[in-house]
Structure 1
């Protein structure tokens, strides 16, 4: 097999290196979609490479093993057995990480939905812990907001409107799907963990910008984000979308500045990387198919 089968395993590195810089500039929406899509593609390609490498272990099983030393056959050599075994182990580890992340997200959302039935898309829990989160919907019910009396007591009326607008933006744009997809990619390929972090930051920035546009006051939004984040820190809500979010200092700084421009040129790098990943994965698949035909 050619070197192309190994390249998808490391092509996630350029995306991981650039993710933080991409997330720091321009409108958050296009960046969140681009990073997530490229990360999913990179994870799929690296996983497929591991599958192809692991499948070469089949040449050690009968009846293919007997052909390996056949005097009249010149079969192409697959990868070394140790490489194939390592690929299989990495596949198992990635699958277990993915299953654990999905189980955690599903369990957290199930517990949040069980807290109460929403009235006009809102559940108010009588808890002292300050928390405000967007609870994703299901096929049978739409998503809703969950806020506690603890956070409502800490915020002014105007700041509450910011919180509600922020959480509704999460639901409107289905940010839970983006963060779940980025987390799945990082579970399959740990090189993509910085991309997962960047996407989590970007969806919070996206919701911040929507909230600022909704209330018409960027300074008020920055103030509400700062107070809610400080209050909700350490709430332990799990993998949910909340106004607490991540990197609160950077979010507040961004809200103090003017509304960001799209800056779509910064997304050319991930788009080019995605095309490269597709081309390399196609070349690796072609080499694998040729190998399989020779053996079978």
Structure 2
């Protein structure tokens, strides 16, 4: 079982080539869904593998074996449990639990602090105008979704570019990209090896919003200029907000000035690339499920080898029969 569980643990190493080869060749919307789903499945697979390895080690503890009525000696004879690996897996799970809890606390505090800050300013049609010369613009979830933009950012853009920037931020809110971002943050927390893939997915989200804004305005050049000027005039917004300055801005501008990604790829290429990503994620999930089934079967055999387990069932049956 230990060797099999190396598959979901090591598959996230394929995140980097997947991010480099697959993501740039897919339409941004498809890439966003596909990469986010892959991150979630790969993170779940590796976490499940660690849990199975840790539980396999716990199953050798006499106190745990007594609760489950199985024979620890029978489990050892199956040669499917590596105690040092199980201990290491348990320690990693504790670390991941702490990191995930800390990330959740940070997100809740950030969301509350941001909501209080935005509530202090006037709101017009879902747009909050922040006073000050510092160029700031981002989309914030909650309260129906709000777009925060500073007067300094508005002053740095022409009227068409302002429309492009607002269309970009509205695209984030309309497509609920903050849900994607939360899923990617959780995935990267559970498995740091997935960070190249989560970064590629975040870039795809920005490209998705860019293309939506370009389609709405009918002018890709204006959107490209708005993104470039917004990046030059400001800085990325800290925290968990989605902003027009996110991701590698030069790549986004270059993509907007060219043809839409995937326009000439054809359905065959999109299908092929999607199949590659889905195959890797399916392999991770299937291996974790098969290992869980193997562990379950091993415990059942260990229970069958435990004479006290049979006696317990016999006494229970006799007691029920007498009544």
TM-score by length of 2: 0.84
SS of match in other structure, 1:267:
helix
Does the CA-based 8 Å contact 2:8-2:287 persist in structure 1? Answer: yes
Q: Which residue of 1 aligns with 2:306?
A: none
- Distance in 1 (CA, whole Å) between partners of 2:22 and 2:241 is 23
**Cα deviation code 1:74-129 (max 9, x no counterpart):** 84234222110100111112222222222223322222222234331111110222
Does the CA-based 8 Å contact 1:136-1:144 persist in structure 2? Answer: yes
**Cα deviation code 1:164-194 (max 9, x no counterpart):** 0000000000111112111211111111010
SS of match in other structure, 2:59:
helix
Q: Which residue of 1 aligns with 2:128?
A: 123
Q: Which residue of 2 aligns with 1:38?
A: 38
**C-alpha distance 68-102 of structure 1, shift in aligned 2 (>3 A):** closer
1:63-78 residue pairs with structure 2 within 5 A? Answer: 63=63, 64=65, 67-68=71-72, 75-78=77-80
- Distance in 2 (CA, whole Å) between partners of 1:156 and 1:163 is 10
Does the CA-based 8 Å contact 2:136-2:237 persist in structure 1? Answer: no
5+ unaligned residues in a row in structure 1: which ranges? none
- Distance in 2 (CA, whole Å) between partners of 1:120 and 1:167 is 13
Considering only aligned residues, what root-mean-square deviation do their CA atoms show, in Å? 2.1
Q: Which residue of 1 aligns with 2:257?
A: 256
1:1-296 residue pairs with structure 2 within 5 A? Answer: 1=1, 3-63=3-63, 64=65, 67-68=71-72, 75-117=77-119, 118-137=123-142, 141-233=143-235, 235-261=236-262, 263=265, 264-265=270-271, 266-296=273-303
User: Bigger CA drift: 217-226 or 105-114?
Assistant: 105-114
User: Bigger CA drift: 56-65 or 238-247?
Assistant: 56-65
**C-alpha distance 222-45 of structure 1, shift in aligned 2 (>3 A):** same
- Distance in 1 (CA, whole Å) between partners of 2:117 and 2:20 is 35
User: Bigger CA drift: 273-282 or 177-186?
Assistant: 273-282
Alpha-carbon deviation of 1:67?
A: 4.5
5+ unaligned residues in a row in structure 2: which ranges? 304-323
Larger radius of gyration: 2
TM-score by length of 1: 0.91
Alpha-carbon deviation of 1:38?
A: 1.2
**Cα deviation code 1:1-56 (max 9, x no counterpart):** 35222211011222332113322223101111001111101111111110010012
- Distance in 1 (CA, whole Å) between partners of 2:29 and 2:21 is 15
Does the CA-based 8 Å contact 1:75-1:295 persist in structure 2? Answer: no
**C-alpha distance 232-21 of structure 1, shift in aligned 2 (>3 A):** farther
- Distance in 1 (CA, whole Å) between partners of 2:201 and 2:48 is 23
**C-alpha distance 75-162 of structure 1, shift in aligned 2 (>3 A):** same
Number of residues paired by the alignment? 290
**Cα deviation code 1:125-151 (max 9, x no counterpart):** 1022211110012xxx31110111110
- Distance in 2 (CA, whole Å) between partners of 1:267 and 1:175 is 20
